Structure 1
Amino acid sequence: ASRSIANAMDHRTAARETRDAINAVRTRLTAAPGAPAVASAQENALRNLVLALADLGAVRFGNFTLASGIQSPIYVDLRLLVSRPAVLAKAAEAYAALLAGVPCDRIAGVPYAALPIGTAVALAADKPLIYPRKEVKGHGLGKLIEGAWQPGDRVAIIEDLITSGGSTVKTAETLRAAGLVVEHAIVLIDREQGGPANLAQAGISAHAVLKLTTILDILSAAGKLDDAKRQEVLAFLGRA
């Protein structure tokens, strides 16, 4: 019993330290020029994750047509994480730290892009993984939700990024219809386009490892994003 209590305390501490690091990065990047900069290990981990995502090509700048038909000056493709295990592991650790502060019995990956990430997070956080199918199987057991679970289990949704939050809400609806309790969603990147507010209306608290503006600031500070492109993306987000 004492070991389980100690583990729970360690998880809560890790989650708090990660949230503090995220906030510290945001504060430091907007600090006045010349201010002292002493980054913690957690802050450095977040910076390194952002730089690794950019080097992988998971964050690109240009002119892209999104699934909605909207033209965007930035494109985030986290499906590439599966091709770089070391970067996927870094991302999974960041998810796991936030997940430690969320009460849940198991996690659920959003089909299908977030399933590889969900698997990595399950291993990093030692949490059972389930996932809803987009369609009921026409053979075998005909399951709509894969994995082991019981009605009443508390489930935290794992999503790669959130824009409007539509896919996350749809996943929550499927899980809730089966009797599961869904109150939290953990995402790697919040594109800051209304997703968390939409999730809140559906009774879901969103927890993001990174906000898109934080990514812009880190890349800008590292000399990997010029100010003109940064301002273009901020204008697209309505932040300029």
Structure 2
Amino acid sequence: MRATGTSTVTWVWWRAPDLWLLVPGVGAQGGDLQTALHAGLRADGLGVLINVSRSIAQAGDPGAAARAVRDEINVVRNAYHVTGAARTAPSARSQLAADLVESGCVRFGRFKLKSGVVSPIYLDLRRLVTYPAILRRVARAYGEILRELTFDRLAGIPYAALPIATAVALEMNVPLIYPRREVKDYGTQAVIEGDHRAGETIAVIDDLATTGGSKIEAIDKLTQAGLIVRDIVVLIERGQGAETLLAQAGYRLHAVMTLSELLSEWRRSGAIDHAQFDEVIRWLAQA
């Protein structure tokens, strides 16, 4: 931004994360709204007052211009409404965003999802297993959140999250279990692999959060074994309803980064252009 550079906003936020920030220079003065929000928003989606008076006053339809700004702000804010989400340091966010592009974990185009919906973006975190240095950084990012939680063991959700959960368990030196997707009809016929005892508290590890349905299914197997689950930690929260569904079931969702935050990082770095960014943001708003 011209009036208030994003590096300045980030610098102030990092030193006074609980203060409200008044951010001028957005819109008519050349500042980018999405970038400004990601530089200053708190984990609760609050903390930034955006001054766009000139853009609205000079618009042909000030009311429509104000509503458009409001809607764009809310798309970003809603992605921050993940209970207990932790802000990752700006330099670490940039590194993780670059890592996901380098490893091919994010792709842009036209992709049919399991639900049948066509998405302009595809996230495949299974590819992290091929990049040990990146997987190690991902594990450390999970660890920053997990160290603030209380639990006895980790549980990875098959299959994509198992390599991540293993890396996190090694990084933190904590025991890991996982609920089987298909229960064996031979041997021990175990529903849950790994040592565990009823009454223990489990922190669940997954790669992504979209709607939250698959997590409920996995958690049910853990709770049926007498284990206690309160927290689920993911690398990326897509902002498509998982937090609400999980909260209604009594679970807290924590995310290393939101998809909106990643999109801003990718646009800032030139990994995607404005058209790609706008297309995904519009898709997320309608999803």
TM-score, scaled relative to structure 1: 0.83
- The equivalent residue for 1:137 is 184
Is 1:72 paired with 2:119? yes
- The equivalent residue for 2:107 is 60
CA distance in 1 between counterparts of 2:237 and 2:134 reads 18
Task: Return the match for 1:93 from 137, 140, 151.
Answer: 140
Structure 2 contact 38–264 (Cα < 8 Å) conserved: no
- The equivalent residue for 1:218 is 265
- The equivalent residue for 1:51 is 98
Structure 2 contact 169–176 (Cα < 8 Å) conserved: yes
Provide structure 1 residue ranges, at least 5 long, that are not aligned to the other structure: 1-16, 33-40
Provide structure 2 residue ranges, at least 5 long, that are not aligned to the other structure: 1-13, 18-34, 42-47, 51-87
Cα deviation, 1:10-64, whole Å, max 9, x if unaligned, reads xxxxxxx9xx7xxxx96417888xxxxxxxx932112101111111110111110
CA distance in 2 between counterparts of 1:27 and 1:191 reads 15
Q: How many residues are aligned here?
A: 213
How far did 1:98 drift?
0.4
Is 1:175 paired with 2:186? no
- The equivalent residue for 2:281 is 234
CA distance in 2 between counterparts of 1:229 and 1:100 reads 36
TM-score, scaled relative to structure 2: 0.70
How far did 1:202 drift?
1.1
CA distance in 1 between counterparts of 2:117 and 2:286 reads 17
Please show how residues 1-240 of structure 1 align to structure 2 within 5 Å: 27-28=38-39, 42-238=89-285
Secondary structure of the residue that 1:238 maps to in structure 2?
helix
How much is the aligned-residue C-alpha RMSD, in angstroms?
2.4
Structure 1 contact 29–218 (Cα < 8 Å) conserved: no
Letter in 2 for 1:174: K
How far did 1:239 drift?
7.2
CA distance in 2 between counterparts of 1:230 and 1:118 reads 30
CA distance in 1 between counterparts of 2:148 and 2:170 reads 17
Cα deviation, 1:116-150, whole Å, max 9, x if unaligned, reads 11100101122110001112212221111000110
CA distance in 1 between counterparts of 2:182 and 2:273 reads 44
Letter in 2 for 1:149: H
Secondary structure of the residue that 1:60 maps to in structure 2?
strand
Secondary structure of the residue that 1:237 maps to in structure 2?
helix
Letter in 2 for 1:138: D
Letter in 2 for 1:47: S
- The equivalent residue for 1:3 is none
CA distance in 2 between counterparts of 1:45 and 1:127 reads 23
CA distance in 2 between counterparts of 1:160 and 1:55 reads 17
Range with bigger deviation, 213-222 or 138-147 = 138-147
Specify whether residues 83 and 171 from structure 1 end up closer, same or farther in structure 2 by C-alpha distance, changes over 3 A only.
same
Secondary structure of the residue that 2:285 maps to in structure 1?
coil
Structure 1's consecutive aligned runs of 4 or more residues displaced over 6 angstroms after TM superposition are: 29-32
How far did 1:167 drift?
1.1
Letter in 2 for 1:224: A
CA distance in 2 between counterparts of 1:170 and 1:45 reads 32
